[in-house]
């Protein structure tokens, strides 16, 4: 009896070995066949049959900027004529298909946001101001990637009755200089009575506003804007300069204003 059981076990073990060999013999050819079919499918998808063409298809466009990239080359201020006024177009953020900044003109300081695309080596921008001000509109402009020193484009007011404006702006960084203008001493040292007592009211007003202009103040009054917009050193940069005035300038402004009032009260008596 034990001999019969042993013989039966030997037969079972032998059949198990044969079965494993059979499975391996089937699986390996099937796997190889699947690989060949996969290669054939890839080859069929490449209609050109050119490996270089296949490589081109997986390459990103040469004009496409990497996601999250900041395009620092176009950040900064662009200044120039904008109709009858001088405008500063300040680009503060650029990259990843978007652009943001501010337009400073005519006594207004307005934010803008929009799209930024690189087309044939040129940055193409369409940016909108918020729309809650009567002077808001849409900027469309271009900046050459190889020479980002100039902005050229148009602006259209949201008010359809107003004409479109064209502009060409040059890159120009705002910098504060105390030594520019007709009365630079008003920003350089404390003024004395003798510096102002013989000036007429118009001269006193100009001296005081020239201090603001050195800080890039964008004047709301047209007559004041026109006084400074022809000056090369003047770059409209802000509508709020309270935090930028020096202690010397604050004291001189107070002195000048006292003499302006004096000119109002007694100017006619002294032939002013």
Task: Write the pLDDT tens digit of every residue in 172-203.
Answer: 989 999 999 999 999 999 999 999 999 999 99
Give the span between the Cα atoms of 187 and 251, in whole angstroms: 10
Cα–chain center distance at 42? 43
Percent of the chain having pLDDT more than 70?
Answer: 72
Identify the weakest region by mean pLDDT among 36-50, 96-110, 143-157, 232-246. 36-50
Sign of CA dihedral 235, 240, 244, 250: positive
Is residue 30 very low, low, confident or very high in pLDDT (cuts 50, 70, 90)?
low
Residue 19 DSSP one-character state: H
For position 262, what pLDDT does the model report?
79
- What's the whole-number mean pLDDT along residues 41-69? 47
> What are 20's two structure tokens?
């494993």
d(CA 256, CA 201) in angstroms, rounded, equals 10
Cα(15)–Cα(95) distance, rounded to whole angstroms? 70
Task: State the Cα–Cα distance between residues 182 and 196, nearest whole angstrom.
Answer: 13
Higher pLDDT, 40 or 15: 15
- Candidate from 15-19, 167-171, 181-185 with smallest mean pLDDT: 15-19
Ranges 33-42, 96-105, 184-193, 230-239: which has the least confidence: 33-42
Identify the residue with better confidence: 229 or 211: 211
Which of 24-28, 91-95, 117-121, 135-139 is least confident? 24-28
pLDDT score for 264: 72
pLDDT tens-place string over residues 105-152: 999 999 999 999 999 999 999 999 999 999 999 999 999 999 999 999
- The angle subtended at Cα 106 by Cα 230 and Cα 148, nearest 5°, is 70
């Amino acid at each position: 009896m034990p001999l019969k059981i042993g013989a039966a076990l030997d037969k079972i073990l032998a059949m198990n070995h044969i079965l494993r060999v059979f499975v391996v013999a089937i699986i390996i050819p099937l796997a190889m066949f699947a690989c060949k079919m996969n290669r054939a499918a890839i080859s069929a998808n490449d209609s050109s049959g050119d490996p270089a063409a296949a490589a081109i298809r997986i390459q990103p466009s040469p004009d496409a900027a990497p996601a999250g990239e900041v395009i620092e080359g176009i950040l900064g201020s662009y200044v120039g004529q904008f109709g009858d006024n001088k405008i500063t177009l300040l680009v503060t953020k650029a990259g990843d298909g978007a652009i943001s900044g501010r337009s400073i003109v005519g006594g207004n300081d307005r934010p803008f946001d929009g799209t930024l695309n690189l087309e044939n080596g040129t940055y193409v921008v369409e940016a909108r101001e918020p729309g809650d001000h009567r002077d808001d509109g849409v900027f469309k402009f271009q900046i050459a990637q190889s020479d980002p020193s100039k902005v050229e484009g148009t602006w259209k007011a949201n008010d359809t009755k107003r004409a479109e404006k064209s502009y060409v702006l040059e890159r120009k960084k705002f910098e504060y200089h105390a030594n520019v203008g007709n009365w630079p001493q008003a920003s350089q040292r404390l003024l004395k009575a003798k510096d102002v007592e013989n000036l007429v009211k118009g001269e006193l007003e100009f001296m005081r506003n020239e201090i603001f202009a050195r800080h890039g103040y964008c004047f709301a009054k047209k007559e004041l804007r026109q006084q400074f917009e022809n000056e090369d050193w003047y770059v409209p940069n802000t509508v709020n300069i309270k935090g930028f005035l020096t202690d010397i300038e604050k004291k001189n402004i107070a002195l000048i204003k006292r003499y302006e009032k004096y000119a109002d009260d007694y100017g006619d008596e002294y032939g002013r």
